[in-house]
Chain A
Amino acid sequence: MGRGAEGAPEEVGWPGAEGLESVEEMRSRLAAASYLADPALATVAYLGLRLERPVLLEGEAGVGKTELAKALSRVLGAPLVRLQCYEGIDVSQALYEWNHARQLLAIRQHEGGGPDLDLYADRFLIRRPLLEALAPADGRRRVLLIDEVDRSDDEFEAFLLEMLSDWQVTIPERGTISCASPPLVLLTSNRTRELHDALKRRCLYHWIDYPGFAEELAIVRLRLPEVPGQLARQVVAFVQQLRSLQLYKLPGVAETLDWAAALMALERHRLDPELVAATLGSLLKYQEDLAAVSGTRLPELLAEAGVGV
């Protein structure tokens, strides 16, 4: 990159997108990358890729929003760049920062004279995730995950909107950097607040729901092939049962996988009330929820989930 307005570089393709011409193909490739997507999710991922639009994923925690980005990065053969949002995040943490110490040192060294010193050369630029995704140093296209965008604030949302609308960013000292091969962008939100309308309208929208029994069982079998079939069925049936209860925080798929892995680590292959009570902490993260489920109700719940006691 030189100084001033950057010339638009040539468009770069996706290494793994060869023959990726339909929703069904997207679905099967995601499955090959260990991610089971339902048709709706495969559709939105496919359209995001082909229409070059950011995809906004909403849903409860632990339903696989972040996982999708990782799987897409594997499918497309493109490195994943992740930006975790938090309140107060700004350009210097998300886009770029100048290496101030280095600039000052360079001036000292330069005091003796010599060729012109360019204080805004690449070696003084610290590239943060968004710049890395928009203008990658190695020229490879990226998958960009902007995680938990609802945690950021209005100012940052407005900045994101600008970037996602024109696929360009401005560094005042360098000029505008535009991007011919935009990254595939996924934004996730846990809905702790409503995002701004303009940002939503820029994105393709998808709501990820908890999976049904069959889907969740398939996910467990795919991700943890070492779990015996009967245990997997019992685990999923019990988690599905929990999700029908009035709890503060329902367990997500991530918790199901954690729990199954925990049971395997204990080398237990059948559920019983005692075992469930001892390991319930993998599934439920609030004291009140634990209290509501454990104790006298547990055998009853297990029976309802079809786990013979």
Chain B
Amino acid sequence: MGSEVRAETAGFVPTLVGLARRLRREGLRVGTSELLLGLRAAALVGVEDRARLRLALRCCWCHRQGDLAVFDRAFLEELGWPRREPSRLARPVAQVTVRAETPGAASETTGPWSKGQPRGTASLDERLRRLDFAACTSEELADLERAVAELAARPALRRSRRYRPARRGRQLDWRRTSAAALRSGGEPLRLRRRRRGERPVQLLLICDVSGSMERYARLMVRFLHALERTSPGAEAFIFGTRLTRVTRELRQADPAAALRAVGAAVPDWSGGTRIGDCLHELLTRWGGRALSRGPVTILLSDGWETGDVSRLAEAAARLRRGSRLFIWCNPRMGDPEFRPEAAGMRAALPHLDRLQPVHNYASLLELSRVLRLDEGGGRSRARRGGTSLA
């Protein structure tokens, strides 16, 4: 490989190595193999023309759209900008991951999720299971948080498009049948079968952390974290007046660190609520990703909308069309006097598959049961069991 690096490029190697190191510091994945690839590319296009060099290195050292702006800035500062060509790439970069320090000990991580049939933690007494989160003391909340972290331990399954060998499959597995037949002299003595496998359902989690949700927000985020950890590919968003994607923040194993990272990433805790606008942003900016596989969508909110409720209704209708199941979870339902009368709640009501309470531990337990119930495509099944929306 070294022979490919021509003489005029060779003098340039330290500069490129310097640039690669800087990019590594700024979070790009520029390993040795990328570095060598970049040197070969530089040798091919030459180093005299900076514009050309920049484009060549960029496609070797960037791996996602968000890398491009970082690369361009570093290149400019390390090597100087070539003439013209302002970058049209400088689109809003998705989000910078906040890396919170992981505290060494004392992390009460969730148990292994194989054992976690969410029957409820034994230590949690009946009173605590029924107690409204808003009425808890801080010690009770700490107990509940631990319990919540163990919830949702088994993601719901949907049928996958990938086939697996199965004794009683509906389809004939030609490949295995004939392989076996060849072994028995061309006689297919036994028919092998196959059926579609199963895959965890994707979740789309959207949580309201505006002022009216303040007393529930912390536990809700805990709950999101539990779901995110146990349900691969779940996307999570938090909103008040603005929408923030927190999928990456919630992926870390330690719940306390995840909570801190979310806190740092979300600019508008306990502010106003613009549900409609935030859901619209979700649909336009993230819809392609979050809704592409027909997720089960869970919206945690009390429905107090300060924006335009017709926008909320429209967004809710679209969310439902894109989702396998659209569940609205409202902590206010703990109140026996509850009627869905908040303007936003009323506007969204016709577009929901289910309305669930999430005010206490028992209701979260129920919710995670609903999620598991959805095997296959079960909008109808899940809806049948739901709270009456009349």
Contact = CB atoms under 8 A, between A and B. Distances in A.
Q: Do A and B come from one complex?
A: yes
A206 B63 contact: no
Contacts of B33: 201
Contact of A192 (B178, B196, B280, B289): B289
B162 A90 contact: yes
A103 B85 contact: no
A53 B33 CA distance: 12
Contact of B59 (A44, A100, A108, A190): A44
Tell me what chain A mostly uses at the interface: helix, strand, loop, or mixed: mixed
Contact of A88 (B65, B89, B161, B289): B161
A86 B287 contact: no
B64 interface: yes
A37 B233 CA distance: 34
Interface stretch (B39-47, B99-107, B348-356): B39-47
Interface stretch (B10-18, B19-27, B180-188, B213-221): B180-188
A270 B9 CA distance: 54
Interface string A269-309: 00000000000000000001000000000000000000000
A164 to B, nearest CB: 13
A23 interface: yes
Interface string A34-53: 00000110011011001101
B287 A47 contact: no
A98 B161 contact: no
Nearest to A87: B161
Interface in A81-110: 86-88, 90, 92, 97-98, 100, 103-104, 107-108
A107 B33 CA distance: 50
A119 B59 contact: no
Given A87-B161, A88-B160, A197-B29, A43 B283 contact: no
B177 interface: yes
Interface residues of A, number: 47
B314 interface: yes
B52 interface: yes
A123 interface: no
A119 B182 contact: yes
A108 B182 CA distance: 11
Nearest to A210: B88
Contact of A108 (B29, B175, B186, B283): B186
Contacts, number: 117
B292 interface: yes
Contacts of B284: 246-248
Interface in A174-195: 190-194
B288 to A, nearest CB: 6
B219 to A, nearest CB: 29
B342 to A, nearest CB: 24
Q: Is the interface of B mostly helix, strand, loop or mixed?
A: helix
A153 B233 CA distance: 12
Given A47-B56, A100-B174, A192 B292 contact: yes
Contacts of A192: 288-289, 292-293
Contacts of B233: 193
Nearest to B67: A205
Nearest to A43: B55
B182 A103 contact: yes
Contact of B162 (A46, A58, A155, A191): A155
A107 B280 CA distance: 62
Nearest to B196: A88
A2 interface: no
A91 to B, nearest CB: 10
A204 B51 CA distance: 17
Interface of B: 29, 31, 33-34, 37, 40-41, 44-45, 51-52, 55-56, 58-60, 62-65, 67-68, 85, 88-89, 91, 160-163, 174-175, 177-178, 181-182, 185-186, 188, 196, 199, 233, 280, 283-284, 287-289, 292-293, 314, 318
- In the A-B complex, the 8 residue pairs with the closest CB atoms: A88-B161, A107-B186, A100-B178, A192-B292, A88-B162, A43-B55, A44-B59, A200-B63
Given A103-B178, A193-B289, 8 more contacts: A40-B59, A100-B175, A104-B178, A107-B185, A191-B65, A192-B292, A246-B280, A248-B318
28 contacts: A43-B45, A50-B44, A51-B44, A87-B161, A87-B162, A88-B160, A88-B162, A88-B196, A97-B175, A103-B178, A103-B182, A104-B188, A111-B186, A153-B162, A153-B199, A191-B289, A192-B288, A193-B233, A193-B292, A201-B34, A205-B67, A207-B68, A212-B88, A246-B280, A246-B284, A248-B283, A248-B284, A248-B287
Interface of A: 22-23, 39-40, 43-44, 46-47, 50-51, 53, 55, 58, 86-88, 90, 92, 97-98, 100, 103-104, 107-108, 111, 119, 153, 155, 190-194, 197, 200-201, 204-207, 209, 212, 246-248, 288
